[in-house]
Chain A
């Protein structure tokens, strides 16, 4: 096990509000630093992080928590010069009004990652001019499919197969985990 430490130079550059909040975590292959921020501070924090040398943007992971009524956004940012250290900036936005600032002016790749978050989760990015269906163009009609309360299989069967499975009426009981999604909105555990 390597020792896990926090990057001092990063903390110096961060706004005062977040200086003590960076946490180092993980194991040997996956050491990372985590920072939890308010959604409105995102642009400012991301700019300071880039100044501190975290120049390699990896992607945005959106996680849907219907039980807490939030979307959690994890921005994964790494560094080319600092031994590929990883920083995960986490923020939470309400599920019924999913809006957050776009950071594509800081990291150009975020432009496309934000389109992906928009089409799969319906998260709206302010000051982003190209939110549209990108991967799902001509593939999917319906609500954003990666949300937890969307039963994609049911929608596909009803939309494209006329409500039939293998040309027979659907028996939801035979679909295993999917029937529970339909009844309770929770996964089969």
Chain B
């Protein structure tokens, strides 16, 4: 039998591709030999556009970088901007930020079922997850006035004060979504089809994961306990007690289980923050609305997918305050996952075409943060 090597293009419209991104794959029969990323389908030139807009407009734009997890992008931008302004948010705002960020992580992990359960053909899991996510979107509508992009986290604190029935309403949302996540655990994460498809597939060893630049649940799934919430202790995470979950073998199964455990952890963190937060006091320090001082800030946040970095430089040759930042650079967690990590696994392990969407899904890729 003669060997035939074929080139196949996967995505950007393929249901197995994680949206807005294409892959060029080299096939030998069913086995994938090599994979190349084709990004750029959602390139909007954000970094250039931000150089022409005021800093508060840039905050609104920054959320658009990743649709599924917008609050963490806002949080990185906010941290970098706060370093330039030289301010720290009030304690109440720090707790509200943690609650908003954890809800964003929950919503993101629930939507991730679309990328992961879809290729396994467990569409029921996806619809259950969307039902739980809907409650979170309603909660966001209640607190910020928007469902998808909230612009709620703001340099100096948060944009609006919390409503008077905040605690009861938030606890009610958690009470609704916790059984739904429990259903997912029993209906999907213990299902033999999921275990068979994800076990021993796409193994990433801890040393390799660090070397290739993986972060977030992908790195923790390989057994490296690296979590910026724990190490940088930004915002109110320093007041809370928790242990980030980690896997031990590093295959797709471990990465999925880490995400499931993180959903429970998020619920726990929100409950802790609701207990400990002060309900009185200021929610935002006022900062000058038009101009920004010269300086530099690097915001780093543990987003739902991994480490998100915003590097903002403000410079002027006339050394006076400016309206627009000089340069903004975002580094999303999807960069290593879809380039170095994916290529490494494909070239070192026997991955078939049927396994490829499950493998890509297990990274929870968000290609817009590559394109920007």
Chain A residues within CB distance 8 Å of chain B: 26-30, 32, 55-59, 61, 63-65, 67, 74, 76, 78, 80, 83-84, 86, 88, 107-109, 111-113, 120, 134-139, 145-146, 152, 177-178, 186-189
Contact = CB atoms under 8 A, between A and B. Distances in A.
A112 B327 CA distance: 20
B79 A58 contact: no
Contacts of A29: 79, 82-83, 232, 234-235, 299-300
Interface residues of B, number: 54
Given A135-B43, A139-B40, 4 more contacts: A29-B232, A30-B300, A57-B213, A61-B311
A109 B306 CA distance: 15
Contact of A88 (B52, B298, B370): B298
A86 B311 contact: no
B72 to A, nearest CB: 14
Nearest to B215: A56
A154 B127 CA distance: 46
Contacts of B45: 145, 152
A112 B322 contact: no
Contact of B298 (A63, A83, A86, A189): A86
Given A27-B83, A63-B326, A109 B40 contact: no
Contact of A63 (B38, B231, B327): B327
A84 B213 contact: no
Nearest to A25: B296
Interface stretch (B140-148, B260-268, B312-320): B312-320
Contacts of A78: 300, 307
Nearest to B297: A30
29 contacts: A27-B83, A27-B86, A27-B88, A29-B79, A29-B232, A30-B83, A55-B211, A56-B215, A58-B309, A63-B315, A63-B326, A63-B327, A67-B317, A74-B311, A76-B309, A76-B331, A78-B307, A84-B226, A109-B336, A111-B340, A135-B40, A135-B371, A136-B40, A138-B40, A145-B48, A186-B317, A189-B316, A189-B322, A189-B323
B171 interface: no
Interface centre among A113, A135, A178, A187 (most CB of B within 10 A): A135
A80 B315 contact: no
Contact of A135 (B83, B320, B323, B370): B370
Interface of B: 38-40, 43, 45, 47-48, 51-52, 79-80, 82-83, 86, 88, 210-213, 215, 224, 226, 228, 231-232, 234-235, 297-300, 307, 309, 311, 313, 315-318, 320, 322-324, 326-327, 329, 331, 335-336, 339-340, 370-372
A84 B228 contact: yes
A13 to B, nearest CB: 18
A182 B297 CA distance: 29
A76 B317 contact: no
A58 B200 CA distance: 28
A146 B51 CA distance: 10
A165 to B, nearest CB: 16
Nearest to B212: A108
Contacts of B317: 67, 186
| 4 residue pairs, one from A and one from B, having the closest CB atoms | A109-B213, A59-B331, A84-B231, A61-B329
A36 to B, nearest CB: 13
B11 to A, nearest CB: 14
Nearest to A67: B317
Contacts of A108: 211-213, 340
A59 B336 CA distance: 10
Contacts of B316: 189
A27 to B, nearest CB: 5
Nearest to A150: B48
A30 B298 contact: yes
Contact of A84 (B39, B210, B232, B326): B232
A71 to B, nearest CB: 11
Contacts of B318: 189
A189 B300 CA distance: 28
A187 B340 contact: no
Contact of A188 (B88, B307, B323): B323
Nearest to A104: B340
B330 to A, nearest CB: 9
B340 A109 contact: yes
A186 B82 CA distance: 26
